[in-house]
Amino acid sequence: MEHISVYDLALKAKQASYQLENTSSELRNEILLSICEYLESEMEEVLKANEIDLDNSKNDHLKDRLLLNEKRILEMIDSINEIIKSPEVINNITEQWTHHLGMTIIKKTVPLGVIGIIYESRPNVTVDAAVLCLKSGNAVVLKGGSEAINSNKVLVEIMKRSLKKHGLSSDIIALVEDTSRESVNLMMQLDQFIDVLIPRGGQGLIDSVVKNAKIPVIQTGSGVCHVYVDEFADINKALNILINAKCSRPSVCNSCETLLIHKNIAEKFLPLANEALVKANVEIRWNDFEVEFNDLIISIKIVEDLDEAISHIKSYGTKHSDCIVTEDKIRAEKFCKEVDSAIVYVNVSTRFSDGYEFGFGGEIGISNQKLHARGPMGLKELTTYKYLVLGDGQIR
């Protein structure tokens, strides 16, 4: 079957974005509710498509990211329902004042426009991204990986069905079905139609998009996350945080990749950590500090002091999520002040770096840059603003 060109998809998404921008919050919520209903009623169709993708996958390492099951689809629905409850983020007046010549100046929130998402493996991103874009009044062009193409097609068709049901253009959500590298390269050049690009995936994908795109890029993902066990840590607390951060879902970007241990607690903590990690089938390494494993692998380093731990994180971290385990408030404050990551934790697992956990309903990614968004990106991060200047013939 011949695919619609990326150019045509982006052009149509741009045209449809003007229609979506002028919809009411109530209508957008009704569309999201319909998506929930279709996901539940068409669950078998989604699971069959996902089964094909899983069967086609030759990489066992990626299968957890690729997998959809009833539990994960129900979690999608729960997330959408939370997003429906979220307050409106566009068409809000955030500031208003009067110029000395009498004009009224209004600052108003508006959608970004058309958001392009380039991502790998995870079909749940297809729904998360599209739903957040719909709620915030943005059209979206989705470019998932070839490994999830069957799942993505079914999920996008369900969401398009919801748009049509409510009288809106199905072009508001576009899926690039051509899985070739050429389609990605072309998509990155379409700055006349796509306003922002968000890559979600490994460091290679993110670097490629940042290097080659003509469109502004929000960098997300790449999580070389650390847990630092301080000399004043509670041992049991540290063990629980470590095992959760590494093992609860090792394939995601907020899992711990490096364990740092203060030398004064290493004799007590290291044997216990080693036993717990081995029991959880985690491979232990004493190097590879720059690697995001996304697997049951962890690097360990014993550090001289808190300063060396902070220095190590600055050298090898990706400014994503880093944790200190300590009972000393002054040391915790120093860690919080000096570790320049999007999310810094004190006695909390890094696995909480997630839009849903932060109360955003969902996320379109976790930004580890500083402009224009940082950390879990929810609805507010998918908006910008414009100024309205209302007058009565004033001239300068």
Q: Under a CB-based contact definition with an 8 Å cutoff, are residues 366 and 83 in contact?
A: no
Residue 24 and residue 87 share a domain:
yes
Residue 153 and residue 254 share a domain:
no
Angstrom distances, CA of residue 257 to CA of 63, 193, 283, 298, 376 = 19, 38, 11, 5, 19
Give the tens place of pLDDT for each residue, 139-184. 999 999 999 999 999 999 999 999 999 999 999 999 999 988 999 9
Of the listed ranges 85-89, 120-124, 227-231, 375-379, the one predicted with least confidence: 120-124
pLDDT over threshold 60, residue 16: yes
Q: What is the pLDDT of residue 62?
A: 77
Residue 233 and residue 177 share a domain:
no
Is 396 part of a structural domain of the chain?
no
Q: What is the pLDDT of residue 284?
A: 98
pLDDT over threshold 90, residue 361: no
- Share of residues in the chain with pLDDT > 70 (%): 99
Residue 50 and residue 182 share a domain:
yes
Is 1 part of a structural domain of the chain?
no
- In terms of C-beta density within 10 A (0-12 exposed, 13-18 middle, 19 or more buried), how is residue 133 classed? buried
- Confidence band for 34, pLDDT divided at 50, 70 and 90: very high
Output the domain CATH number for residue 82: 3.40.605.10
Is 146 part of a structural domain of the chain?
yes
CA distance 8 to 15: 11
Specify the higher pLDDT residue, 12 or 181. 12
Give the residue-averaged pLDDT of 229-233: 98
- Confidence band for 186, pLDDT divided at 50, 70 and 90: very high
CA distance 114 to 65: 26
Is 395 part of a structural domain of the chain?
no
CA distance 371 to 354: 19
Output the domain CATH number for residue 241: 3.40.309.10
Residue 263 and residue 243 share a domain:
yes
Is 215 part of a structural domain of the chain?
yes
Residue 231 and residue 212 share a domain:
no
Residue 172 and residue 107 share a domain:
yes
Q: How many domains does the chain have?
A: 2
Q: What is the pLDDT of residue 2?
A: 58
Residue 368 and residue 343 share a domain:
no
Please count the CA atoms within 13 angstroms of the CA of 38 that sit on its side-chain side. Answer: 20
3-state secondary structure of 321: strand
pTM given for the model: 0.91
Q: What is the pLDDT of residue 1?
A: 47
Give the residue-averaged pLDDT of 94-119: 98
> What is the chain's mean pLDDT, rounded?
95
Phi, psi at residue 263, to the nearest 5°? -60, -30
Residue 230 and residue 202 share a domain:
no
- Domain that residue 28 falls in: 6-220+364-390
Is 73 part of a structural domain of the chain?
yes
pLDDT over threshold 90, residue 58: no
Give the residue-averaged pLDDT of 42-53: 98
pLDDT over threshold 90, residue 390: yes
Is 143 part of a structural domain of the chain?
yes
Is 75 part of a structural domain of the chain?
yes
Give the residue-averaged pLDDT of 204-223: 91
